[in-house]
Amino acid sequence: MAKSLSKRVRGYISPAASRSRLNKAFVLNLTVLLMFALNSATGQTNSEMGHISEGTISSAIEKLIDKHGENERSRIESGVKQVALFWKEEDGTETEFTEFCLDHFVTEENGLRELFDNISRNMEYINGYFHKMNRALTKPIHLDTGPLTKTDMMFGGYNPSAHLAEDFFRNRIAFMNLLNFPFYSLDEKNKTGNEWSRLEWAYARVGDMDTSRIPPLLKLELSETITRADSYISDYNIIMGSVVNEDGDTLFAEDLRLISHWGLRDEIKALYEEENGLERQRVIYTIMERIIRQEIPEQVINNPGYKWDPVSNRVLLDGEEVDFSSEPDTRYKHLLDVFRAVSATDPYTPYYPDYLSRRFEEEMEITRQEIEDLFTEFISSPLAVEVAQVIQKRLDRNLEPFDIWYDGFSSRELKTEELNRMIRRRFPNTEAFQNNLPNMLVKLGFSFNKASEIASRITVDAARGAGHAWGAEMRSDNSHLRTRFGKEGMDYQGYNVAAHELGHNVEQTITLYDIDYYKLRGVPNTAFTEAVAFMFQNRDLKLLGLSAEEDPHMKALDTFWSIYEIMGVSLVDIEVWKWLYLNPDATPAELKEKVIEIAKDIWNRYYAQVFGVEDSPVLAVYSHMISYPLYLSAYPLGHLISYQIEEHIENKNIAEELHRMLINGNITPKHWMLNTVGKEISNEPVFRAVERALEALE
């Protein structure tokens, strides 16, 4: 495959020649596309942009064709119309518009490649330094550096690059890009991208740069809104040592503090190892329901000063029951604020008229309908009933809603407490984990030199929240791995998260430093970086040098159940955003009721018959819904991609295969999958593996 890619680059033909057929279709459809885009579901339009007359546009096109020749017609027509779409009255008169087009249109013969190289070089500087500024300003919010202050929140919500896009329009850099690099729809990329060279793909990514003209104030408001939501989630901990049963008995370790939802979910998983874990799992599930319904007492959130019985919802102080106030729909107010801040930008994104289309068609480059069809096919599979029966037999009891996180298929020999003790000894602090990164990568198959090179470009930080990975944007910077370190060091839960984030960091580093064109850095979408992260997470013990032989049948069942869970959650997320667009004036209370209704509806359609329980709202517990708008679909998609990759690289060097795949970079998901594993994203490999596993168990 690597040789094939090299051949494509060496056999490069003029983008003007190879694009001519595509651009004819593009020009014919552009007017229809824009009319549709500017009349979105919200009914919003932006009258400031696109005021250049049709006569002026036609005149500019003909003058450019006279200057550069008929062979350039398709690029000229698309370029001039793209500039006209975003041109405001304040950008200049119609005469100045024409003069700009005549002065700045570039052909392959007179410097298009030089222009591309110039854009790529300068965008790496700009992206890189703005990214470093943003990371520094949000450090107190993301890292465990002590109590947050109002000043931290103000600086953390500031977006240093908020004015960048508008500045590029004002000094006409954006117009230069629009004039010379056509924008291609997802359908056009998918249909003809297999004919493009690597350079043509990079040119197309320049064409994706300026698809919106959002006012800086709206960008700043969006950044501040998401920062507030992120801070709310990052500091949303339940002090489990203060949780008691109806007799007042403490149920959990005194120092156990679990973030919602990640920590609560992972504790449910860990308790399958405990003989008396069922009572505590039921209590955690009740806590989740209280959070979803906003029945949780405000006093017990991140506060060890009170005892709390979640089942009866009693709050105790010094052994006496006290009055409390429930959280006042804060969770849903943040979600509503994020929706309003996001949707306020809709009129300024003409190719993608709402956030649903931006998230799926622009960012993920998979249509929402394709995602919904793929997910619905999976969770409707009769295999879910059969896998549930296996779980029920292994548990020797009827399933309960929290068994959606059943973790008993793992063939791990070491128990969580043993792993906790071992990992705390190995990784008492961030420095110990940082120093061990090269050894971990060598165990995955990287050469010592490559492992050391990658590790030197990753910085480990102690996270305030559950953890995340933050890639670099220029080749002189490091990616950052964030995970939780307790007072006694890292525990297994923190390490498992860190293994996941390490996968992100490795992907981020390879696809930045080893890529052929800066504009092709990264992977097609977040699902692909999640796929790599899952591969690392699944090998967490192998990274430590421990025996990690897995029963392939158990792995298949575990993968199926994980996907089955998160696809339902993702569909809830999508349905909530659809409803928000139809009900933009909803109150937090109305939104809460609708989220619960949607979660119950999806549960009843796809899960109730499997679990024997109706009306569970548990699919609405994920914190991503609040601070990471429409991100959740990346996880199940990542699982499917990861499984297809695992199947393809079986009995091969993992590190070499990963590197081969990752240097495909940021092309569309369809072409990335065809280039690397030979097939598009599909449920079938998982279904086949589960069928084999069920047969083996029989």
CA max distance for the chain:
88
Residues present in the chain in total: 698
> Could you tell me which of 125, 134, 109, 204 has the C-alpha nearest to residue 524?
204
Q: Tens digits of per-residue pLDDT, 41-64?
A: 333 445 588 889 999 999 999 999
- Mean pLDDT for 405-413 is 81
Q: Give the per-residue pLDDT at 413.
A: 66
Which ranges constitute the DSSP H helices of 294-427? 330-343, 355-357, 368-379, 383-395, 416-426
What confidence category does residue 405 fall into, taking pLDDT thresholds of 50, 70 and 90? very high
| d(C-alpha 48, C-alpha 53), whole Å | 13
pLDDT at 289 over 70: yes
Query: Please, what is the Cα angle at 132 between 131 and 138, to 5 degrees?
Result: 90
Q: Tens digits of per-residue pLDDT, 95-104?
A: 999 999 999 9
Q: Tens digits of per-residue pLDDT, 242-258?
A: 999 999 999 999 989 99
> Could you tell me which of 221, 235, 602 has the C-alpha nearest to residue 401?
602
Half-sphere exposure for 233 (CA within 13 Å, toward CB): 24
| d(C-alpha 648, C-alpha 230), whole Å | 37
Exposure letters 421-437 (e unless 16+ CB within 10 A, then b): eebbeebbebeebbebb
Which of the residue ranges 185-194, 456-465, 501-510, 577-586 would you say has the lowest mean pLDDT?
A: 456-465
Q: Tens digits of per-residue pLDDT, 671-682?
A: 999 999 999 999
For the chain, the average pLDDT equals: 90
**Where is 677: in which H helix or E strand?**
none
pLDDT at 412 over 70: no
pLDDT at 305 over 80: yes
Q: Tens digits of per-residue pLDDT, 511-566?
A: 999 999 999 999 999 999 999 999 999 899 999 988 766 788 998 999 999 999 99
Exposure letters 95-129 (e unless 16+ CB within 10 A, then b): eebbebbeebbbbeeeebeebbeebbeebbeebbb
Q: Give the per-residue pLDDT at 415.
A: 77
> Could you tell me which of 368, 470, 565 has the C-alpha nearest to residue 128?
470
Q: Tens digits of per-residue pLDDT, 177-205?
A: 999 999 999 999 999 999 999 999 999 99
Three-class SS state of 54:
helix
Angle between helix 173-180 and helix 94-104 axes, rounded to 10 deg: 60
Which of the residue ranges 15-29, 361-375, 409-423 would you say has the lowest mean pLDDT?
A: 15-29
> Could you tell me which of 404, 396, 235, 400 has the C-alpha nearest to residue 330?
235
Asked whether 506 and 528 are in contact (CB, 8 A), the reply is no
- Mean pLDDT for 624-634 is 94
- Region of 218 please: left (phi>0), alpha (psi -120 to 50) or beta: alpha
- Residue 460 pairs with which residues in a beta bridge? 481
Q: Give the per-residue pLDDT at 630.
A: 96
**Where is 468: in which H helix or E strand?**
strand 467-470
Query: Please, what is the Cα angle at 400 between 399 and 403, to 5 degrees?
Result: 80
Q: Tens digits of per-residue pLDDT, 562-611?
A: 999 999 999 999 999 999 999 999 999 999 999 999 999 999 999 999 99
Pairing of strands 314-317, 307-309: antiparallel
Q: Give the per-residue pLDDT at 548.
A: 61
pLDDT above 90 coverage of the chain, percent: 80
| d(C-alpha 61, C-alpha 66), whole Å | 9
Q: Give the per-residue pLDDT at 13.
A: 28
Residue 259 corresponds to which tokens in the numbers above? 């973030």
> Could you tell me which of 50, 39, 34 has the C-alpha nearest to residue 86?
50
- Mean pLDDT for 490-510 is 94
| d(C-alpha 45, C-alpha 49), whole Å | 9
Residue at token pair 């109706």: 614
pTM given for the model: 0.85
Asked whether 269 and 407 are in contact (CB, 8 A), the reply is yes
> Could you tell me which of 417, 415, 423, 414 has the C-alpha nearest to residue 489?
423
